[in-house]
Amino acid sequence: MWDIRGDITASVADEIIYDGLDAIPSNSTFLQYRKAILDADVFDYNGSHLNTIAHDFYLRGIGNDVETVSGTLSSSQTWSDYVQLSGNVSVHSGVTLIIAASAVINLCNGSNTYSLISTGGVISLQSGATINGWTACLKSWSSTKGFFPTIQSAINNASNGDGIEVNNGTYNGDITINNKIVTLYGQSVSGTIINGVVWFENCEGGQLYNLTSDYIEMDGCNNINTWGHKIITGSGLFCYSSTDLDVSPVASYPDDIALEFIYGTNGLIDLYAQLTNSWIGAYLYNYSNATITTTTFCSNSIDIEAINYSSADADASENKFSSDPVSYIGNVSVPGYITICSMPKRSKLSIASINNMMATYPNYEKFSSLIKLYFALTKIVKNDTKQTGKFHQAKFLSRYYNIIDSMKTFIQNNPG
């Protein structure tokens, strides 16, 4: 231990050694002591001192030096002890990397974190092996394709049909899945937290489940579902021009809309979704054949709004609502006995005030929907600009023109 204190300073060594020895029984072997202290360095300092500590043990005849690896593996090999990545590592076609049960692979090296990725080769991960420092694990069926320091880097390296497991933790920033069919899932819905937007764009399939994010958006997608698991979103779920969706969100967006289906068909909201504490729980614009089942609407001003050729079927016996009668606008079917949720209903916009506005202004519903569509498009533009760093005029200008032209036409036809 004095060797370690002399090599990495006494204060740092004492912290690592005490943390390591505190984690194992006093009758452990020297190799177990070595492992505990190395693990403590990974936990406390991202493995900054692994090489030095392991070498001090090696000089005393205990264990081996830490193997430092980077670049492309040129031949098949087995990692069975501590391995420290000093750069990205690729396993090319024809090469097999076996990570034994006794191995501890550290992707972190001080302030840097690197990737371990298959570029055609085989990564065989035996049960019991430890991989430190990964954020996302890329998988293809039962095989491992790589470990990555960020979610986006795993997505960028994914192929259609791949799965991406996100380690428990809190991650800041937006992520985008563009034109790929992948499954993105967390280790637990409460433990995997993304402080940003999860954005599916132009995807012809995919799954999303077991995580929490600020906002979820699907634009131009088909066949996206949540596999019967919840997704928690702090500011809502927005689906634009997307069809055949099956989602189970837990969403709350005060003074706004918890879930939006804008243009499309065949949307299913089910499996104990919760749309609560919002101005509108579920909003459908030009979206046909939406089915809502086993969903809780609670403390919303309006539970469901389905307008402009939209339709929604919400069997009362299979859902819970904010009020009786159910607060809805437009083409919504709510057959059966109504069950009220236990939370108090929001009073900001009452059913009576809505009915009064509709009676006073017969076209209120149509103009209101145009305003909501305008703000919905503004959300898309804001997220796209934040994600890409620039405004894509060609992508959005025609959509704005269509909405504004519809507003002009409405005002001209309704001068009073």
- Residue 177 has what pLDDT? 95
Specify whether the CB–CB gap between 298 and 278 falls below 8 A.
no
Only one residue has tokens 């994010």, namely: 213
- Residue 350 has what pLDDT? 45
Domain ranges of the chain: 2-59, 66-133, 361-413
Q: Is the pLDDT of residue 359 over 60?
A: no
State whether residue 27 is helix, strand or coil: coil
- Residue 366 has what pLDDT? 63
Give the contacts of 405 (CB within 8 A, at least 6 positions apart).
none
Express each pLDDT in 307-352 by its tens digit: 887 889 998 888 999 888 888 888 899 988 888 887 554 444 444 4
The span from the CA of 318 to the CA of 49, in Å, is 58
| Confidence band of 55 (pLDDT split at 50, 70, 90) | confident
- Residue 140 has what pLDDT? 92
| Confidence band of 385 (pLDDT split at 50, 70, 90) | confident
State whether residue 96 is helix, strand or coil: strand
**Shortest CA distance to 404 belongs to which of 378, 384, 386, 385?**
378
| Confidence band of 59 (pLDDT split at 50, 70, 90) | confident
- Count CA atoms closer than 13 A to 380's CA, side-chain side: 25
| Confidence band of 358 (pLDDT split at 50, 70, 90) | very low
| Confidence band of 365 (pLDDT split at 50, 70, 90) | low
Count of all residues that appear for the chain in the document: 416
- Residues 233-258 as b/e (b if ≥16 CB within 10 A, e otherwise) read bebbbbbbbbbbbbbbbbbbbeebbb
**Shortest CA distance to 108 belongs to which of 75, 68, 151?**
68
User: Is pLDDT larger for residue 42 or for residue 135?
Assistant: 135
The span from the CA of 168 to the CA of 134, in Å, is 10
How close are the terminal C-alpha atoms of the chain, in Å? 87
Q: Is the pLDDT of residue 89 over 90?
A: yes
The pair of three-digit structure tokens given for residue 412, joined into one six-digit string? 């001209």
**With left for phi above 0 and alpha for psi between -120 and 50, is residue 277 left, alpha or beta?**
left
| Confidence band of 169 (pLDDT split at 50, 70, 90) | very high
pTM over 0.85: no
The span from the CA of 120 to the CA of 95, in Å, is 8
Express each pLDDT in 109-157 by its tens digit: 878 999 999 999 999 999 999 999 999 999 998 799 999 999 999 999 9
DSSP string, 97-116: EEE-TT-EEE-EETTEE--E
Q: Is the pLDDT of residue 231 over 70?
A: yes
The span from the CA of 248 to the CA of 408, in Å, is 37
| Confidence band of 408 (pLDDT split at 50, 70, 90) | confident
User: Is pLDDT larger for residue 51 or for residue 368?
Assistant: 51
For the chain, give the mean pLDDT. 85
Q: How are beta strands 206-209 and 302-307 bridged, if at all?
A: unpaired
**Mean pLDDT in residue range 16-29:** 86
Percentage of residues of the chain with pLDDT beyond 70: 88
- Residue 361 has what pLDDT? 52
- Count CA atoms closer than 13 A to 203's CA, side-chain side: 29
The pair of three-digit structure tokens given for residue 274, joined into one six-digit string? 């919760």
The span from the CA of 252 to the CA of 85, in Å, is 42
| Confidence band of 364 (pLDDT split at 50, 70, 90) | low
Which of 67-81, 157-171, 368-382 is predicted with the least confidence, judged by mean pLDDT? 368-382
Express each pLDDT in 242-294 by its tens digit: 999 888 888 887 767 889 898 899 998 887 789 998 888 999 988 989 999 88
